[in-house]
Amino acid sequence: QHGDLQIQSKSHPRDLVTRADKESERILIEAIRESFPQDAILAEESGEVTVGHSEVNPASDNYQSADHNAQYRWVLDPLDGTVNYAHGSPQFAISAGIMRGEDCVAGAILHPVTGHLYTAITGQGAYKDGARISVSSRSPMNNCLAVTGFPYRRAEFMDTLLQGIRLILENARGLRRTGACCVDLTWLAEGIFDAHYEFFLSPWDTAAATCIVREAGGKVTSLEGKPYVPGMPLLLASNGLIHDELLQAMRPLQSSVPNQIL
């Protein structure tokens, strides 16, 4: 709900945090601690939350950096699309994924404005409000609608960002931007969008969403076509039917995108 948003900037004037981010995260962490005290937690605002303790380490943003003995790690984005929320746009979401090693084995994403809840567990399919969903069957790529997002720090990557836009517009029916990665990928999972690409995402942006897309029948990879894991510099997702075309279309970016885990 809107009211006193208490908006603050984090790493950049475009990188905002509101009272809603903090309160949503607090509620999620408390619920996980109560029901799954043995699990580790990585949350966007609090960082790595130590298993079985109340302390958080805001300086840690590496989901592999602590709690190696925990079998599962919850990766939380308490409000994906904070800028949208702060401006009154309805396109934002709350995301919770469960990681086992580098794999997301379950995920849930809530669109608070509509109340739609997207869920998936590895091997059990993807669902919207309890009903099975699947990616689109559209192909080839020139019949498809793509969606993207932009990193907060844009200046040093502006040429690469613009090249990505050009490559998609040359090959797809159209390109959209909602301003929330979790919205993009849930809409891909239910067949609204057919492809998604985005640079420099954080684990909390992708953990739940990649599980949902894959369980809906889609593909999520790196630019080289390897299965996407958090920290890769570029995420490419599609309905699977056009994935080879998507990789081919974006191949010119290989010379300007780092290939290491960030």
Contact at 8 Å (CB) between 128 and 116? yes
CATH number at residue 61: 3.30.540.10
- Cα dihedral 93, 213, 188, 98, rounded to 10, equals 10
Percentage of residues of the chain with pLDDT beyond 70: 83
CB neighbour list of residue 60: distance below 8 Å, 6 or more residues apart: 47, 48, 66
Which of residues 117, 133, 149 is at a domain's end? 133
Mean pLDDT of the chain: 88
CATH number at residue 238: 3.40.190.80
Alpha-carbon distances, residue 146 vs 77, 221, 227 (angstroms) = 23, 15, 19
Whether 179 and 237 map to the same domain: the answer is: yes
How far is Cα 10 from Cα 17, in angstroms, rounded to an integer?
A: 7
Whether 160 and 197 map to the same domain: the answer is: yes
The predicted pLDDT at position 261 comes to 53
Asked if the model's pLDDT at residue 61 lies above 60, the reply is no
Asked if the model's pLDDT at residue 5 lies above 70, the reply is no
How do 145-149 and 174-176 pair as beta strands? parallel
Residue 163 CA, chain-centre distance (Å), reads 22
| Residue 249 CB burial class (10 angstroms; 0-12, 13-18, ≥19) | buried
Contact at 8 Å (CB) between 50 and 56? yes
How far is Cα 149 from Cα 139, in angstroms, rounded to an integer?
A: 22
| Residue 117 CB burial class (10 angstroms; 0-12, 13-18, ≥19) | middle
Contact at 8 Å (CB) between 229 and 102? yes
Q: For the segment 96-145, what is each residue's pLDDT rounded down to a tens digit? A: 999 999 999 999 999 999 999 999 999 999 999 999 999 999 999 999 99
Instruction: Give domain status of residue 2, yes or no.
Output: no
Whether 204 and 163 map to the same domain: the answer is: yes
Number of Cβ atoms within 10 Å of the Cβ of 42: 28
The predicted pLDDT at position 257 comes to 80
Whether 59 and 152 map to the same domain: the answer is: no
Asked if the model's pLDDT at residue 4 lies above 70, the reply is no
Asked if the model's pLDDT at residue 262 lies above 80, the reply is no
Whether 95 and 149 map to the same domain: the answer is: no
Instruction: Give domain status of residue 147, yes or no.
Output: yes
Model confidence pTM above 0.85: yes
Whether 122 and 162 map to the same domain: the answer is: no
Which of residues 110, 133, 156 is at a domain's end? 133
Asked if the model's pLDDT at residue 181 lies above 90, the reply is yes
Asked if the model's pLDDT at residue 195 lies above 70, the reply is yes
Whether 129 and 228 map to the same domain: the answer is: no
**What number is the average pLDDT over the span 168-178?**
98
Number of domains in the chain: 2
The predicted pLDDT at position 20 comes to 78
Weakest mean pLDDT among 65-69, 77-81, 123-127: 65-69
Whether 102 and 202 map to the same domain: the answer is: no
Instruction: Give domain status of residue 17, yes or no.
Output: yes
DSSP state of 255: G
Residue 146 belongs to what domain range? 141-255
Confidence of residue 17 (pLDDT cuts 50, 70, 90): low
Whether 129 and 23 map to the same domain: the answer is: yes
Whether 169 and 101 map to the same domain: the answer is: no
Q: For the segment 142-164, what is each residue's pLDDT rounded down to a tens digit? A: 999 999 999 877 677 899 999 99
| Residue 56 CB burial class (10 angstroms; 0-12, 13-18, ≥19) | middle
